[in-house]
Structure 1
Amino acid sequence: MNPHILHWSYRDFREFPNELLDHSDTLEEIYLKENFIPTIPKWLFHSFVHLKFIQLSGNLLQTIPREICDLRNLEHLDVSKNKLIELPEQIGQLNKLQYLNASENEIISLFKGIGAMKSLETLNLSKNRLRELPIDVASTSLAELILNDNDLIEIPTKIMSMESLKVLEAERCSLEYLPGIVGDRVTHIRIFNNPKLTHYPTVYEKFLRLHYDYWSENVVSADLLMIFLPDESKRTIVPRQVERIRLDNSPNSLTEYCLRGLYANRPYYEIVCANLVENELPRRIFRCVQYGPICRCGNGECDNMLFTECHFSLMKKNQSPSHIIFSNMFCSKTCLTKWHEVFKAKYHPIDWIHFV
């Protein structure tokens, strides 16, 4: 028997076995998968200072004690397939935690302070009841984020464009649109099986599995800008942050110019975000600053970031049997026209009408 590892899974335990205390000085890994354990005793956190790995999947846990933060060496925590409705914010103090699996629970919201978990690489929250993700997630070093089967309406651009992110899954959620920016290191995205998605920004084309072809008549949120596609007899929407779709080359609003200028100075922008107080700004401005741009101008020769205004284009691939509709956003009519000229052999634009 390895003195550092204890395998007591599938043993029908009705409570945390006290016999563990006999190994408190040596244990680094505990496997108690698929038992009937309803609670975690506090002595676990005070006695097992060397613990690095806890596997408690498939039990009856309803809460995780806040004292879990005392496990300073913990690197791997699996509490999937339990009855949790929340995770304690003290988990955010586990500075060495690299892997957190809380899938298949009843979690409604994620704890504040997750951004402090600089070692976290994998976060699995699939099959919960999440409706939104805290923007703090973007401050972690996540490489893998699994969000399948939740009630998410959107994924913030800041999270999708994380520098560390490689894998993101959000299948079978309630996503109404996708961010217009994808991180440079992302190699795997499973996000297209969402019934309310009606178009995909062109940055997702390389991830799109062509057998996905989902359209839906489901009602979407009433506070989103709506577009009607006459030839498709369908409605589609643009990201929540967009307040105005521009049709000409008239100047942008002062708000848009200020947000772009702030974001252009990234070190200063990060300082502003870290010290921003919600009540000090109008809510819509606070959200724009905190969540960052919705996308970069679709014209590759342009570096402008877009926040609340854009020129919007919908298109299909030429000579393709698929009904998939792609989208792109631009900072100006000029950039839109240039892009379509460059890619006219690949895409053809489709008509749309602003739906009020």
Structure 2
Amino acid sequence: MNKCTTLHWSYRDFTNVPIDLLYYEETPEEIYLKENFLTSIPAWLLQLNNIKFLHLTGIGQLKKLECLDLSENPIKTLPVEISECSRLLELFLNGLAELLYIPDRIANMRTLQTLSADRCGLLYLPASISKFIAHVRMFNNLQITHIPIAYEKHFTSFYQQVQNVPRTTIDPYLFLIREKETNKILLLPIGTLKVFPIPSCENSVTLYDHALRCINYMNHFISIHKHNEILNTLPTVAMKNHIKNGPISMCNFCTKLLYTSYYLMVVKRRNSTSKVIFTCNFCSMFCSNYWMSDNKAKYYPVEWEICDN
């Protein structure tokens, strides 16, 4: 059989990885298997050590997958299709030095019990995670500037050391704020377009976000984010991408979905020498006031401002 370095097996309606690959004189360095109907990844495929690039977009058909370990690979982005693996219990992302963020749709998988992303290149943590996750490890992500309040129960003393470490080159469209107590710069999740201080005018969240919530509500009846024919009817590409990729956060009080605009509270623990920075996201002043009334004995708010540059 002829030698080849690239193998294109995408859009073939495969339900299994063809065993023919084992009989190539030389294993291809690049294998494209995207948008097939694979229900499992054979162990022998992962033992072909000549593979440099394996494209598996559409990994969402793996309905029986319980553990996915992508550790120690040059992976830059995670496909949101991972969130369609409806039985996934454990996700290991350790040593992905080029991974800058974890999509919120993945972090909020209801089945996920363990999420481990040690020694990655994360710029920030997903603003919300599933309440069912029991074990979270995020050690040695030295570019993280703050901790979303959703991680409070998983918090360890390690995070006290990771604020304002010099970052890699950052896209100028990312959203930065400065907390005024210690003058630290905080990087907010990708997709943030507007944040409102507390107190602020009520009903400041944009109509665009309200529209996205209404569209997302239809996911209770049909999984819109998986149907391109429906997504393509939306008026803008940005709206299509927001629905497909999922919200960037949830309200820390009522769990309403947040997409591009939200009320932001920066807080620190009372009577703590570490002064770790936590962030809270809310859909309204109503929710922020109720959350603060329940937590004022534990946290105090810190003023912040948007960084113009």
Indicate conservation of the 8 Å contact 2:180/2:302, yes or no.
no
1:51-105 deviations in Å (ceiling 9; x for gaps): xxxxxxxxxxx8899696246xxxxxxxxxxx99655427964425598996999
1:211 alignment partner, SS class: helix
Shift of 1:139: 0.5
Take 1:233 and 1:329, find their aligned partners in 2: how far apart are those partners?
20
Structure 2 unaligned runs (5+)?
Answer: 20-26
**Residues 327 and 105 of structure 1: CA distance in aligned 2, closer, same or farther (over 3 Å):** farther
Amino acid across the alignment from 1:136? E
Q: Structure 2-normalised TM-score?
A: 0.80
Match for residue 233 of structure 1?
Answer: 183
Amino acid across the alignment from 1:177? Y
Most deviating of 172-181 and 325-334: 172-181
Take 1:334 and 1:340, find their aligned partners in 2: how far apart are those partners?
10
Structure 1 unaligned runs (5+)?
Answer: 1-40, 43-61, 72-82
Amino acid across the alignment from 1:179? P
Of residues 195, 217, 227 in structure 1, which corresponds to 2:166? 217
**Residues 261 and 277 of structure 1: CA distance in aligned 2, closer, same or farther (over 3 Å):** closer
Shift of 1:270: 1.2
Match for residue 22 of structure 2?
Answer: none
Take 1:210 and 1:250, find their aligned partners in 2: how far apart are those partners?
37
Match for residue 71 of structure 2?
Answer: 126
1:265 alignment partner, SS class: helix
Take 1:181 and 1:190, find their aligned partners in 2: how far apart are those partners?
15
Residues 27-66 of structure 1: pairs in structure 2 closer than 5 A:
none
1:228 alignment partner, SS class: strand
1:206 alignment partner, SS class: helix
Match for residue 144 of structure 1?
Answer: 90
Shift of 1:323: 3.4
Indicate conservation of the 8 Å contact 1:312/1:329, yes or no.
yes
> Does residue 342 in structure 1 map to residue 288 in structure 2?
no
Quote the sequence identity (%): 28
Amino acid across the alignment from 1:355? C
Shift of 1:283: 3.2
Indicate conservation of the 8 Å contact 2:90/2:115, yes or no.
yes
Structure whose alpha-carbon radius of gyration is higher: 1
Of residues 120, 126, 149 in structure 2, which corresponds to 1:202? 149
Indicate conservation of the 8 Å contact 2:35/2:57, yes or no.
no
2:306 alignment partner, SS class: strand
Take 1:92 and 1:313, find their aligned partners in 2: how far apart are those partners?
44
The RMSD of aligned alpha carbons is 3.2
- Give the number of the structure with larger relative contact order, counting CA–CA contacts within 8 Å between residues 6 or more apart: 2
Take 2:151 and 2:144, find their aligned partners in 1: how far apart are those partners?
13
> Does residue 331 in structure 1 map to residue 305 in structure 2?
no
Indicate conservation of the 8 Å contact 1:180/1:296, yes or no.
yes
Amino acid across the alignment from 1:122? C
Match for residue 259 of structure 1?
Answer: 212
Take 1:188 and 1:244, find their aligned partners in 2: how far apart are those partners?
32
Amino acid across the alignment from 2:75? L
Indicate conservation of the 8 Å contact 1:109/1:133, yes or no.
no
Match for residue 110 of structure 2?
Answer: 163
Take 2:196 and 2:130, find their aligned partners in 1: how far apart are those partners?
27
1:241-294 deviations in Å (ceiling 9; x for gaps): 111112321443221111111222333451354234569653321221111222
Match for residue 39 of structure 2?
Answer: 95
**Residues 105 and 351 of structure 1: CA distance in aligned 2, closer, same or farther (over 3 Å):** farther
Match for residue 62 of structure 2?
Answer: 117
Most deviating of 89-98 and 255-264: 89-98
